[in-house]
Amino acid sequence: MIGLRLWRAMPMARRPAYGLVLLFTCCAMFSVTGNSNAEGLPPLKIVAFGTSLTARGGWQPALETELAACLQRPVNVESVAKSGETTLWALTQLDRVVAGQPDIVLIELYANDAALQRFVSLAQSRKNIGDILDQLRQRLPRARIIVMAMNPFSGMRGLIRPFVGSYIAAHQAEAEVRGLEFVDHQPNWQRLTPGDLAAAIPDGAHPLPDIASKIIVPELVKQIAGGNCKE
| pLDDT confidence tier of residue 229, bands split at 50, 70 and 90 | confident
What residues does 46 pair with on adjacent strands? 77, 104
Q: 207-220: per-residue pLDDT in tens?
A: 999 999 999 999 99
Q: 7-18: per-residue pLDDT in tens?
A: 455 555 444 444
Q: When comparing pLDDT for 100 and 159, which is higher?
A: 159
pTM of the model: 0.83
Element containing residue 85 per DSSP (H, E): none
Q: 54-89: per-residue pLDDT in tens?
A: 999 999 999 999 999 999 999 999 999 999 999 999
From 183, 202, 185, 209, select the one nearest 57 (Cα to Cα).
209
Q: 176-209: per-residue pLDDT in tens?
A: 999 999 999 999 999 999 999 999 999 999 999 9
pLDDT recorded at residue 27 = 40
